[in-house]
């Protein structure tokens, strides 16, 4: 049992931190640029991606002995696409405003390299429970970066935190202005770049595995 726990912990640490999908593998950048203007959209996107990653890992791993290897990518995509469509339908039903803001980006989870990458690299070779944990770990790793980027972009770009104004009026009166560039895509590029640099320069932040 102890062994099991440390095994899952190992998978989690690897996905969230050591081999973080955004900061280390540089995957999923497209959506990280697009949905991080506000924290609320980033949060919903993070949850959606984490769920899709976890359940696609679980399903693909359960089917791994049955999937014919010459159509495996198509089967993986069928599983992922179906889960994404169901997620999108649920968002449209219960979080209509946010789903409108996320527009095409939820649908584009299908093409997010993190999900197919984990299916190919992990789920096909490991058991369902491990794959589920791996999906959660990578989803959380992605979410962590997304929320950090969204936090800085929303704070500096519109002076808000989850849509609540946090910069007091007197600061504006003293001549402070929201940084317009943070609302635009280049702002996300700068922040992601800085985060990747920060993460990889921390001790233990980068895997020094010999090729």
Partner 1 sequence: MSDKKQSNRSFKNSRVYVVFFALAVALVFSVLITSAATMLKPLHQQNRILDKKTNLLEAANLLPENERLTPEKIQTIYDTHIREVHADPRGQILRQATGDSLQLYLIHTDQQVQGYIVPISTRGLWGKIHGYLAFEADGETVAGFSVYSHSETPGLGGEIESQWFQDNFKGKKILNAHNQLVSVSIAKGKSENLPENLQDHYVDGISGATLTGRYLSEGLEETLTQYEPVSIIFRQKKGSQTHLDTLLDE
Token readout for 124 is 């096909």
Which region, judged by CB under 8 A, interacts with partner 1, from 98-106, 114-122, 149-157, 203-211?
Answer: 98-106
Cα dist. 180→49, 185, 186 in Å?
Answer: 28, 10, 10
In 3-state terms, what secondary structure has residue 189? helix
Least distance to partner 1 from the beta carbon of 71, Å?
6
Question: Measured from the CB atom, is 34 or 49 closer to partner 1?
Answer: 34
| Residue 77 binding partner 1, by CB under 8 A | no
| Residue 1 binding partner 1, by CB under 8 A | no
| Residue 177 binding partner 1, by CB under 8 A | no
What is the DSSP code (8-state) at residue 164? E
Phi-psi category of residue 167: left, alpha or beta, with phi > 0 → left and psi -120 to 50 → alpha? beta
- Show Cβ contacts of residue 118 under 8 Å, excluding neighbours closer than 6 positions: 53, 56, 57, 131, 134, 135, 138
The answer to whether residues 166 and 128 touch, using CB atoms and an 8 Å cutoff, is: no
| Residue 96 binding partner 1, by CB under 8 A | yes
Please pick, from the candidates 7, 78, 171, 200, the single residue that binds partner 1 as defined by CB under 8 A.
78
Question: Measured from the CB atom, is 1 or 164 closer to partner 1?
Answer: 164
Q: What are phi and psi of 165, to 5 degrees?
A: -65, 125
How many residues contact partner 1, by CB under 8 A? 25
Please pick, from the candidates 8, 12, 47, 82, the single residue that binds partner 1 as defined by CB under 8 A.
82
Question: Measured from the CB atom, is 47 or 183 closer to partner 1?
Answer: 183
Least distance to partner 1 from the beta carbon of 9, Å?
32
- What's the alpha-carbon Rg for the chain, to the nearest Å? 19
Select from 147, 173, 162 the least CA-distant residue to 46. Answer: 147
Least distance to partner 1 from the beta carbon of 119, Å?
14
Which of positions 47-76 make contact with partner 1 (CB under 8 A)?
66-71, 74-75
Q: Which spans of this chain sit near partner 1 (rule: CB under 8 A)?
A: 34, 66-71, 74-75, 78-79, 82, 85-86, 89-90, 92-94, 96, 100, 103-104, 184-185
């Amino acid at each position: 049992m102890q062994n099991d726990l440390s095994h899952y912990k190992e998978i989690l640490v690897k996905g969230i931190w050591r081999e973080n999908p955004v900061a280390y593998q540089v995957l999923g950048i497209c959506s990280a640029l697009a949905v991080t203007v506000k924290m609320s959209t980033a949060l919903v996107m993070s949850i959606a991606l984490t769920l899709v990653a976890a359940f696609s890992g679980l399903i693909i791993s359960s089917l791994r002995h049955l999937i014919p290897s010459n159509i495996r990518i198509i089967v993986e995509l069928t599983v992922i696409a179906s889960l994404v469509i169901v997620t999108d339908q649920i968002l449209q039903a219960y979080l209509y405003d946010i789903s409108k803001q996320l527009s095409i980006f939820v649908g584009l989870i299908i093409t997010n390299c993190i999900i197919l990458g984990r299916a190919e690299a992990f789920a096909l070779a490991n058991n369902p429970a491990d794959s589920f944990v791996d999906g959660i770990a990578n989803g959380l790793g992605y979410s962590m970066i997304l929320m950090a980027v969204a936090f800085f972009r929303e704070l500096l770009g519109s002076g808000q935190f989850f849509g609540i104004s946090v910069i007091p009026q007197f600061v504006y009166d003293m001549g402070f202005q929201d940084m317009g560039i943070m609302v635009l895509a280049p702002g996300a590029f700068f922040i992601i770049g800085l985060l990747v640099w920060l993460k990889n320069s921390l001790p233990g932040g980068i895997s020094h595995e010999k090729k």
